[in-house]
Structure 1
Amino acid sequence: MRVQPYKTLDNRIDGAVIMLVDVDELRRSREYAESIVATVREPLLVLDADLRVQTASQSFYQTFKETPATTENRFFYELGEGQWNVPELRRLLEETETRGDGVEGFEVEGELRAIGRRTMLLNARRFSQETGQRSLILLAIEDITARKELETALRLRVEELAAADRSKNEFLALLAHELRNPLAPMRIAVQVLESPGADSAAIEQARDMMGRQIQNMARLIEDLLDVSRITRGEVRLRKERVELADLLRRAVELTHHLMESRGQELSLSLPPELIYLDADPTRLDQIFGNLLNNASKFTPAGGHVRVTAELVSDGAETPGEVVVRVRDDGCGMAPDTLPRVFDLFMQADRSYDRAGGGLGIGLTLVRRLVELHGGSIEAHSEGLGKGSEMVVRLPVLPQRSTESERPDETVGGTAAEPEPSPGAAAPRRVLVVDDNVDMVESLALLLRLRGHEVEVAYDGPGALKTASSFHPEVVLLDIGLPGLDGYQVASRLRQRRRAARVLLVALTGYGQEEDQLRALEAGFDHHLTKPIDPQVIYDLIARPLLA
């Protein structure tokens, strides 16, 4: 029952108005709403029009580690440590009664005392009470931290994939450029060789040019394959006791002619001690060869490249490490380039960049090979135009008492003479097998020019048939053959009595370690990966055959 005064027009009380209201339905509705608030799984708050908390769900108390005593009859924006005191949110909630709508998808991010940093999504709705009373606000709070983190991770992943796709497209374009570069002078060289007016000097120049460009292509392909193998963890080091000075001398010898042709001065300074490493000599050749080639590529004509080595030890009982520095006075690197210089396909913005060419994989390969040896590499530069320095650190082996010291030496502008090649080999009967006709014919031509008797075959069955009548002493055999592959041909040849001692050499584009092992298991004596230096084949053929 409700009683209100009855007033006249001049505002005098002239009676009373008595209203009888059935509140059972309102009470049941209120109790029903409160039961929903109490049992809903998401944190819920019931606020009055002044934003004071009337009640909260059990989930709210559990989620935010609060109690009714710390929550009810307090203003919403005063709860916790002020994380809900967001002016824009407060304004929207206060306007719900006048606007008649609610708040949709308002995000609040902050540090919550009980549960750490969270992102919360707030939705609010106004609902009416009994006649004459102000409306209440039902505020739902949803923890969307995990969803936001997933969205962020997905966005970053999309950006990474987009960047990877861009890098892939840029790399493919660069690869096409780098492959065309040596092909262009090779095509011209072929035209020179075919020209009836070419004299001996022109022919010699064209031949040398083709040799250099083929070597460039081979190095490019090998670097690509090595990066792929290292990334998949398929490179195994064949470590042995290696003397550092010999390695560095060999690297200097291999790059000396390149730098000499560019008018660059190359010097090598070694420490007095004999320094030994537990390392794979082939991979160390690759490391220092890459660094020297890179230094030459980004150093102008007349520039200088200096290689120094220093033994660093913490004490007499520890062997320490060797520090090898490759320093040039070339175009240098910008500060923002240094952190990324070892990244795959990274090409620094250098003034000689495109003149030098390259795919941006050399330093990536160097770093990973150095790390496989337990070492590290750093890049230093004072800026563009001020040169660069690559610093390689490798662990050394303890020095033996019988190992003598070496006088300090510097190699500059000259390189040690290479060992002379062995003389011409005794004539052999050689069978060349490959499904690439040009490969077969060109190799057969070279071998015949050196006095060997050569037969050829272009598939597996043809190889076995020719071997039966020709009785070769040496078989140069491709793996990917039609009819029967090279492994099958080698295995069947080994089963023949007359071919049991034949020198079997695999010539193949399959160059991974498992390919080499499979070749040896099939009966091959040697496994050579294309493109092959003909001198390697000459040397193998020149070796004494088994009796």
Structure 2
Amino acid sequence: AERIRAAVDLARVQGTLRAERDRGRTILDTIAEGCMLLDRDWTVLQMNPAGLRIAHMDPAGFIGRNHWDVWPEAIDSDAGRMYRRVMRDRVAGTAEYRQRMPDGVEIWCEVRAYPTPDGGLVSFFRDITERKAAEDKLRAADRRKDEFLAMLAHELRNPLAPISAAADLLRIGRLDEARVRQSSAIIGRQARHMTGLIDDLLDVSRVTRGLVTLARAPVAARAIVDEAIEQVRPMFEARRQHLAVGIGDPDALVLGDKPRLVQVLANLLNNASKYTQEDRRIDVAATVDDARGRLLLTVHDEGIGMEPELTGHVFDLFTQGERSVDRAQGGLGLGLALVKNLVELHGGTVACTSPGLGQGSTFEVALPLMEGVARLAPAADGAGAGGTVDGTRRPLRVLVVDDNVDAAATLGMLLEACGYLVDVEHDSHRALERARHQRPDVALLDIGLPDMDGNELARRLRADAQTGAIVLVAVTGYGQEQDRRAAFEAGFDHHFVKPVDMDELAALLARIET
């Protein structure tokens, strides 16, 4: 009975050991990580199926062989040094290892090694090639972001220098009329340049976050080309560049947002002009690809060109070619990223090709043609509103409300110079009382007012019978689409983003006056 009991206990223990061994083998065979077992002499004893898949090897090629004979390239690697350290010090270690596979493909592996009780070690490894590629992309994006921020600081400082100098000249006050006009023109020109930079930043932000809504309507190819050329013509004339225009089918129609499509082509033309030397030629063409039902807008320049590897990334955000230290061309490099996003919103594609440095570049936008719609010549745009104050009538009374004293004062002086009666307030409550007593025709209100913001002031003016008829115009630095919606919901009739385009404001006041 004693012998039978001992035999049963032994069988039970052996069964338990077999079950534990089978569970361990099942775990090793099913885990996604590779596992390799080495003895104290570096002989490869075992490797699980995941390890075989990662190593792209057959067990017959390395089981029973010395690890360093099978993978000699690992001897001087971080992983090899880590293996020897674990074997020597009997302390676990980790390393990353780049390995060239038999088919020539390189992969990255994360390797962890642990000492075993018999003096060998067990190694766990996994393929981290995708993670390393993502890390490389993040580092590249971070580097481009840093370069972009440095470039942005440079581009914003540049116009500040002449603005500051011109302001100092005006402050001195010993200038003749010609010098005053010159200083004023400098300030206005540089302010418009800064406004353009900020508009580019906001445009890219809105488009990339999906906040742009397209106002789709039939647009003719001729309208897109003509208006884009009109926008960039001063730049071409200043650089004495020759523009050749070819429109294969001027009445070909696409369904899109006309201002945005004009912006796309204008950005491409502006980019071509910027990187093309003076007295060179730039071609813009609009042709129809009937086979694919597309309108092709092509811009070809004889400019500096680019390396072939850059053409695949030129539309990425914060990507630019090499620039000289003086950055004579200027700009933030956002135009092409904006082009790509706007074209894709229209269901189209954009591509760039260049034979190489110094050999020019070609950009091609492909937009889907409208189907089943007659091609019509675009209607001529009506003349813009405008005019001056009629001397036979009472000029408009305008209330300017802005807590920025300088901004309010300069806007007030400009309006007075245009012949309007202007009152200026910096506090919302005082502005509300003045509006009730003086009943202005128009109120230009900043949104970011302290205590009571411009939207709340607009709501109170609208709700009061004495001031409800005043034309309310938002003049603000908040230019996002949600800011515009909030302003109109508060009761504003019009919305302008600082710095105000005085031509547009004067046209608006002229329309109100008539």
Q: What interval of TM-score do these two structures reach, taking the shorter chain for normalisation?
A: 0.7 to 0.9
Kindly state the Cα deviation for residue 168 of structure 1 after the two structures are TM-superposed.
3.4
Instruction: Answer yes or no: is 1:505 the counterpart of 2:473.
Output: yes
Instruction: Give the distance between the partners of 1:529 and 1:197, measured in 2 at CA.
Output: 33
Pick aligned residue for 1:516 from 484, 492, 504: 484
**Partners of 2:249 and 2:286 within 8 A in 1:** no
Pick aligned residue for 2:287 from 297, 303, 310: 310
CA distance 1:88–1:242, change in 2 (3 Å): same
> Residue by residue, what CA displacement relative to the aligned partner does 1:158-192 show, whole Å, maximum 9, x if unpaired?
55554444333322221110001111122233345
**Partners of 1:338 and 1:379 within 8 A in 2:** yes
> Counterpart of 1:540?
508
Instruction: Answer yes or no: is 1:482 the counterpart of 2:482.
Output: no
Instruction: Answer yes or no: is 1:330 the counterpart of 2:303.
Output: yes
SS in 2 for 1:174: helix
Pick aligned residue for 1:88 from 67, 70, 85: 67
Higher share in helix = 2
Q: What aligned pairs does 1:463-474 form with structure 2 within 5 A after superposition?
A: 463-474=431-442
> Residue by residue, what CA displacement relative to the aligned partner does 1:119-144 show, whole Å, maximum 9, x if unpaired?
887767585xxxxxxxxx9x886654
> Residue by residue, what CA displacement relative to the aligned partner does 1:346-405 show, whole Å, maximum 9, x if unpaired?
121256981101222111111111111111111111111111111111112136447369
SS in 1 for 2:465: coil
SS in 1 for 2:254: strand
Aligned-CA RMSD value: 4.3
Gaps of 5+ in 1: 1-23, 66-77, 93-98, 112-116, 128-136, 407-415
**Partners of 2:220 and 2:377 within 8 A in 1:** no
Instruction: Give the distance between the partners of 1:159 and 1:539, measured in 2 at CA.
Output: 52
**Partners of 1:283 and 1:369 within 8 A in 2:** yes
Instruction: Give the distance between the partners of 2:466 and 2:382, measured in 1 at CA.
Output: 39
Instruction: Give the distance between the partners of 1:314 and 1:347, measured in 2 at CA.
Output: 34
**Partners of 1:331 and 1:350 within 8 A in 2:** no
> Counterpart of 2:24?
41
CA distance 1:91–1:399, change in 2 (3 Å): closer
> Counterpart of 1:224?
201
**Partners of 2:488 and 2:494 within 8 A in 1:** yes
> Residue by residue, what CA displacement relative to the aligned partner does 1:386-436 show, whole Å, maximum 9, x if unpaired?
111111111121364473699xxxxxxxxx999576220442111111111
CA distance 1:337–1:46, change in 2 (3 Å): closer
Instruction: Give the distance between the partners of 2:343 and 2:389, measured in 1 at CA.
Output: 39
**Partners of 2:43 and 2:64 within 8 A in 1:** no
Instruction: Give the distance between the partners of 2:38 and 2:280, measured in 1 at CA.
Output: 79
> Residue by residue, what CA displacement relative to the aligned partner does 1:287-345 show, whole Å, maximum 9, x if unpaired?
12211211111111212222111011127xxxx11111111111111222211211211
Pick aligned residue for 1:300 from 277, 286, 296: 277
Instruction: Give the distance between the partners of 2:38 and 2:451, measured in 1 at CA.
Output: 82
**Partners of 1:370 and 1:376 within 8 A in 2:** yes
Instruction: Give the distance between the partners of 1:492 and 1:539, measured in 2 at CA.
Output: 27
> Counterpart of 2:329?
356
Instruction: Give the distance between the partners of 1:79 and 1:398, measured in 2 at CA.
Output: 59
SS in 1 for 2:400: strand
> Counterpart of 2:210?
233
> Counterpart of 2:268?
291
Kindly state the Cα deviation for residue 231 of structure 1 after the two structures are TM-superposed.
2.3
Kindly state the Cα deviation for residue 442 of structure 1 after the two structures are TM-superposed.
0.8
CA distance 1:47–1:361, change in 2 (3 Å): closer
> Residue by residue, what CA displacement relative to the aligned partner does 1:58-105 show, whole Å, maximum 9, x if unpaired?
xx999899xxxxxxxxxxxx984535465426799xxxxxx9999988
CA distance 1:264–1:421, change in 2 (3 Å): farther
CA distance 1:443–1:255, change in 2 (3 Å): same
Q: What aligned pairs does 1:43-58 form with structure 2 within 5 A after superposition?
A: 43=28
Instruction: Answer yes or no: is 1:244 the counterpart of 2:221.
Output: yes
SS in 2 for 1:245: helix
Instruction: Give the distance between the partners of 1:50 and 1:380, measured in 2 at CA.
Output: 54
Instruction: Give the distance between the partners of 1:209 and 1:52, measured in 2 at CA.
Output: 77
Instruction: Give the distance between the partners of 1:229 and 1:258, measured in 2 at CA.
Output: 27
Kindly state the Cα deviation for residue 226 of structure 1 after the two structures are TM-superposed.
1.5
Given the two structures, how large is their TM-score scaled by the length of structure 1?
Answer: 0.73
> Counterpart of 1:381?
354
Q: What aligned pairs does 1:113-128 form with structure 2 within 5 A after superposition?
A: none
Pick aligned residue for 1:281 from 251, 254, 258: 258
SS in 1 for 2:284: strand
Instruction: Give the distance between the partners of 1:156 and 1:85, measured in 2 at CA.
Output: 34
Kindly state the Cα deviation for residue 522 of structure 1 after the two structures are TM-superposed.
0.8
CA distance 1:179–1:336, change in 2 (3 Å): same
Gaps of 5+ in 2: 1-6, 29-35, 72-86, 103-107
Instruction: Give the distance between the partners of 1:119 and 1:196, measured in 2 at CA.
Output: 71
> Counterpart of 1:6?
none
- After superposing the two structures, state which structure 1 stretch, 320-329 or 269-278, moved more: 269-278
Pick aligned residue for 2:232 from 244, 255, 262: 255
SS in 2 for 1:355: coil
> Counterpart of 1:131?
none
Given the two structures, how large is their TM-score scaled by the length of structure 2?
Answer: 0.77
Q: Which amino acid aligns with 1:424?
A: T
Instruction: Answer yes or no: is 1:528 the counterpart of 2:479.
Output: no
**Partners of 2:280 and 2:302 within 8 A in 1:** yes
Instruction: Give the distance between the partners of 1:101 and 1:172, measured in 2 at CA.
Output: 48
Instruction: Give the distance between the partners of 2:258 and 2:428, measured in 1 at CA.
Output: 36
**Partners of 1:480 and 1:508 within 8 A in 2:** yes
Instruction: Give the distance between the partners of 1:324 and 1:50, measured in 2 at CA.
Output: 65
Instruction: Give the distance between the partners of 2:378 and 2:383, measured in 1 at CA.
Output: 25
SS in 2 for 1:422: coil
Q: What aligned pairs does 1:336-347 form with structure 2 within 5 A after superposition?
A: 336-347=309-320
**Partners of 1:298 and 1:352 within 8 A in 2:** no
Instruction: Answer yes or no: is 1:447 the counterpart of 2:415.
Output: yes
> Counterpart of 1:422?
386
> Counterpart of 1:371?
344
SS in 1 for 2:312: helix
Q: Which amino acid aligns with 2:24?
A: R
CA distance 1:541–1:260, change in 2 (3 Å): same
Sequence identity percentage = 38
Q: Which amino acid aligns with 1:228?
A: S
Q: Which amino acid aligns with 2:462?
A: R
> Counterpart of 1:433?
401
